[in-house]
Structure 1
């Protein structure tokens, strides 16, 4: 493994840890589905880190995007 590959793996690991923190903070109704999706990304990271990084990007974007009907204004 080249040194550059190791740096990319470290970055992916940091991003996966951050995603884990965010999943833990979700309400129970959303946590189970998000946790299953997160675990599938972790499993993929073992075999294909580049594809896992792309799926992680999409996952984090989905976590950032408010769902339809969700109150985002604090009312």
Structure 2
């Protein structure tokens, strides 16, 4: 975790979790991103199809066959 640099975090991710422009370190970003608010903001940033796909994967135990997802998306 400490080997990564905050510059490696895309601006899109920083925007989604409402991270400050200047982060003290990766740990601070991980704390923000994994907080209840951060997870909620991440879920809100997904399209309806992405959220539905995520729910299907979650309900299948976290693993879903590619064919299952392909048939759902198409």
Q: Same fold (TM over 0.5)?
A: no
Q: Which has the higher helix share?
A: 1
TM-score normalised by the chain length of structure 2: 0.32
